[in-house]
Structures are given as C-alpha cells and as structure tokens.
A and B are shown apart, each in its own frame.
Chain A
Amino acid sequence: MSVLSSLQRRPEPSLQAAFALFALMALLPPVVVSLGDPFLIVVGTRMLVFAIAALSLDLILGYGALVSFGHAAYLGLGAYAVGVMMRWGIDDLILQILAALAVALPFAAVTGAISLRTRGIYFIMITLAFGQMAYFFFVSLSSLGGDDGMALDHRSTLLGAPVMASDAGLYYTTLVVLILTFVGLWTVTRSRFGRVLVGTRESALRMQAIGFRPLPYQLAAYLISAGTCAVAGVFLANQALYVSPAYMSWQRSGELIVMVILGGIGNLAGAIAGALVTIGLEEGLARFSDHWRLGFGLILVLVVLYSPGGVTGLIRRLTGRTGA
C-alpha cells in the first residue's frame, strides 16, 4: 500500500499526523525569523536529524521488537564517513551518503547476523557490546583525531551547489530527507515484508509454522534501519560541523531509545514526535534552570505512568475524547 493510495482513501491518523508535523516543520524557519530568533533553525535541524535516527530505530524496535542499544554507532559511522570524505576532498552529499552506507551496512550485516541469534535482554546487551566496540575503536584511532574528533570547515555540497551552506538550506534539505525516509519506511512497514516483520514480533513460532523464516526478514529490517541511521549521521556531521566518537556512546543510543518510546512505539509519526519533543524539552528546559534534568526525568516518569503509548497515546486519548 503506497502513500499515494493511502491518501486517496481517507488517510490513516498516523499519516495525517506525520504530514501535519512536516507542515509545521516546513513553516518553522519563516516563523522564527519573523520572531527575531533565527538561531532556532539550527536547533530545528538537530530535531530533524534525530527524527530520522528515531524513525530508523522505530522500524526494528517498534515493528520488530528488536531493541538495539548500539544504534548510535551508525549515527557515528555516517558522521565519520562525511569527515573522512571531506578530508579526501570529496564534498558531494550523494557520494558521502553512499560512503556512509558502504561503511554502515557491512558492519550491520555482521553484527546483525550475530545479534539476531539472541532475544530480549540478550539482544539489547549484545547490540550494546557492538556499539561500545565501535566507540572504543574510534577513540583509539589517532589518525582521525581519536576522542578529540575532527572539525569540518564547510558543509557538503549537492551536485556541486552549496545548497546546505546556509542554515535554512541545511534545514530544508534535512526536512526533505526526513520526508523521503518517512515515505520509504511507511511503504516498507505497510508492505508484505512489514507484515511478516510484525508477525515475527508477535509470535516467531507461528510465523515459522506458516512457512516464514524470521531471520532474513529481521536481518533485512536491521540493515534498512542501520543504513537510515547512517544517513542521519551524515546530516548530524553537517549540522555540528564536527565529528567525534562521542556520537557513538551508549548514552546516545539510550537517548534514541528514549525518543522512540516517548513518541510511542510502532508508530512512525510517533518516532518523529518523540525526537521533536525530546530535543524540544532538552533545549527548552535548559533555558530555565541548570538542573533541567530533574524536570526532564520527572516528565519521563509521569509520561510512562499516566500516558502509556507516549506522546501518540496522549494525542489519541485527547482526539478520541473530542471525537475527531
């Protein structure tokens, strides 16, 4: 079922929500410029980058019940691909994305094949282990700066044109990539492949009974997820103009998981919302107090206790009550 055909019927609420979010994000730059705070475009870009990463994680976490605690490694690999390519003088975005995939996909294939032999908490920990190995490897790599990282002095170009040189240019490019990612993952999850994945999540035993081997589907989903996250990493490197092993730490992986759960798992629009809300809260609360983490932690606990299903659960309850 494609997005277009979905739109021809009455669109699902999730699709409506996603496009509402995209419309909001498209309007953000002109709005903040008119409010006199153009710097918020930079913050917005960060939100979009993590929205792409959260979407990638939701595919396997929400639809496949595979909680990867090492997903930030792909974010870092994508960013390092940009760093290394720039050092070699290759600034083109498309080539950098291809390089990111060329690094991330083999790593995902190997680690995925090993990790998918386990389930539950064991899967979580083994993905953590691989993430940590990637982190320590890059920390020890002095030629790429080790943990001091690499600064980039300009952004990637698209087919020779410095489209992303301005903050607004980077913002809209990232937004386009986010929309494309969403459409792609939407198609995947609504396809036969996606249904097998969800079926495997519900009961691998039954899926095997009707003739599907879970492993190839899960591995394919894992690869798609890893590649998408690496693309997010490419844009993170551009947003910060800096590449560092810190992007791969387990704390970052944990933050990605928090974003997906906070938004509401198994719901692509939820993943986007989760990233926007998390970064929005982090940035917003920090302006009020140095001890913003106390408030942020409290909000997380309250959301779990009183709004199962995260932000999308909350919205569903609100719109349900108003009968929309």
Chain B
Amino acid sequence: MTSLFLLQLLNGAQFGILLFLVAAGLTLVFGIMDFINLAHGVLYMVGAYLMAMFAALTGSFWLGLALSLPATLALGLVLEVTVFRKLYDRPHLDQVLATFGLVLMLSEGVKILWGAAPLSVAMPEALSASIPLIGPMRYPVYRVAVIVAGLVVAAGLWWLIARTRAGMLLRAGASNRAMVSALGVDIGRLFLVVFAFGAMLAGFAGALVSPILSVDPGMGDQILILTFVVIVIGGVGSIRGAFVGALLVGIIDTVGRIFGPIWLKAIMDPAAAAQAGRTLAPMLVYLLMAAVLSWRPAGLFGKAVVK
C-alpha cells in the first residue's frame, strides 16, 4: 500500500507539472499585463493540433515539435497585434468578452480545419519505453521526460525573471507601467514579447501532451478551468505560486480521488464511503481552492488586491 501511495504521489506530481506548463504562460500574462486571457486554453489546444499536423507531415515527433513552437509563437504575435494590443487598457470584463469570442472562433476554426474526431500523435521511439518501479508497476519514460521538461521550464522562467535584465523590465512593468515607459522602455514591445512567449508556452504544453492525451476540440475547455484554479491558488503573477499551486492541485486531485474512498471506509460503511468518495472526487480541486482562498484571499504567493 505504501508503494502504491508513493506511486500515486509521483503521478500527482507529474500531473501537476503538466498543469504548471500550461499555467506558467497564463500567470505571466495575467500578472505582468493584468490581462485576463480566456483564450489560453485554445492556444494550448492549437499547439497540440499544430503538433499533430506537423508530426504527420514530417513523420517525426521531434520535427513536429520543432515546427509547432514557432507556429504557435507566430499565432500569438498575430493575436496580440490584431486584438489583444487594443485591450490592455480596457476593463477586465471587456477582456473576458473579447477572449471569449476568440475562444469560440478558434475552437470552431480548429473543428473546420481538422474535423471533430480526435487526432493521434505518435510517441517518439526514444522515449516510448517504460521503466520498472516497484513490483509489477512500471512508469513511462515519456512522463519522466515531461517532468524534466517542466522542471527545466520552471527553472528557466525563474532565472529569466529574477536574474536577467528582461526579467527586471517585466517586473518593473508589472508594478508601474507608466514609470517604465517614461524611463524610455518600449512597453508595447515588451508586452508583445511577453504575450507571444506566453502563447508559445501554452502551445508547447499542448504539443508535449499530445502523445499521451487525446487531441480533440474539447481539450482547451477542460484545461482552462484547471489552469485558472492553479494560478489563483498560487497567486496571480507568481511563477513560484503557479508551480506550487500546480503541484498541490495535481497531488491532491490524484491522491484524493484514489485514496479518498479508502480512507473514508475507516469512518463509514463501504457503500456510503464509495458514494461519498465518488461525489467528492471532482470537487476536490475546488474545495482546495476555496480552502486556500479562505485562508489567503489572494492566493498563496499573490499580492493582496487593494481597493
């Protein structure tokens, strides 16, 4: 049982890192540009679809990945210049409406271009083995690669924001846009870069998960809500918060839904425990968020919202 628990902990952490990859881009955009981007989920989905398309065209996973990154970056640039640029100074609700409209357009566009049936992306040969863990349980090498990729991205983002000049500009721009602009920095270009980079991160996450998760027109919606939950738990604008929040969500969700009924059996009869476990399982993430927000209304690492 302990070995199973540890394995589930690992599964939870891996799922959390997957969520972090998607959430990182969103929290950057929201934190630095104060922009609510509901279209983040579809950018993730478009990344996965582009990956599927390029992988099928080139016949190679790696080439597909290499091509889908600049493609998603380009899409991010186009969206920023045509739509998002005009919305930075608008109230949040206008941003919500506009990005909601974009979600409808991009989702329908994906369905028109690629059809409604789920697509497949082949796992790369090099990463398709599985390593034995304890007893009969094995762990796929690809998921280890995902964990590594997530940790690299997390470290890279931290270094970028905390240790480089560009990162310093980003942090300064988040605190006081006018002052940074007055000091001669082109804020518009800064935001363009941040947004496009955030879009590329989302697309990269989508491309990365495409061999293990279904690439279908609903994948954006599912991940969007979870991503917002993660950044809210972590505190908006904080990469560290997104990382911790994602891990928390992944672990609590995974361990909770598997072990919840088992633990509940200690205090209720088996049938009621099973029923309670099943009812609570999808709510765990939301209960976690409600609990965190009751204790820290601005998330774990977020700045308090002063009115």
Instruction: Please report the total number of B residues contacting A with Cβ < 8 Å.
Output: 47
* Contact indicator A203/B307 (Cβ below 8 Å): yes
A84 to chain B, nearest CB (A): 18
Measured CA separation A114–B294 after assembly (Å): 7
A203 nearest in chain B by CB position: B307
Known: A121-B232, A125-B229, A137-B279. A114 touches B101 (CB 8 A): no
Stretch at the interface among A90-98, A101-109, A163-171, A295-303: A295-303
Q: From DSSP, what is the main secondary structure of chain A's interface residues?
A: helix
Measured CA separation A271–B56 after assembly (Å): 47
A262 nearest in chain B by CB position: B97
Judge whether B297 is part of the interface by a CB distance below 8 angstroms.
Answer: yes
Known: A114-B290, A125-B228, A308-B94. A136 touches B283 (CB 8 A): yes
Pick from A129, A204, A205, A296: contact of B286, CB below 8 A: A129
A135 nearest in chain B by CB position: B282
* Contact indicator A305/B232 (Cβ below 8 Å): no
- Per-position 1/0 for B14-39, Cβ under 8 A of A: 00000000000000001000001000
* Contact indicator B298/A293 (Cβ below 8 Å): no
- CB neighbours (8 Å) of A129 from chain B are 229, 286-287, 289-290
Measured CA separation A203–B293 after assembly (Å): 22
Measured CA separation A251–B287 after assembly (Å): 19
Instruction: Please report the total number of A residues contacting B with Cβ < 8 Å.
Output: 43
Judge whether A126 is part of the interface by a CB distance below 8 angstroms.
Answer: yes
* Contact indicator A298/B101 (Cβ below 8 Å): yes
Pick from A120, A132, A251, A300: contact of B98, CB below 8 A: A300
Taking CB atoms and an 8 Å cut-off, the chain B residues in 278-307 that contact chain A are 278-279, 282-283, 286-287, 289-290, 293-294, 297-299, 302, 305, 307
Judge whether A210 is part of the interface by a CB distance below 8 angstroms.
Answer: no
Taking CB atoms and an 8 Å cut-off, the chain A residues in 33-59 that contact chain B are none
Told that A122-B297, A297-B105 touch, could you supply 9 new A-B pairs with CB distance under 8 A?
A: A118-B293, A121-B30, A129-B229, A257-B96, A293-B105, A297-B103, A304-B87, A305-B98, A308-B90
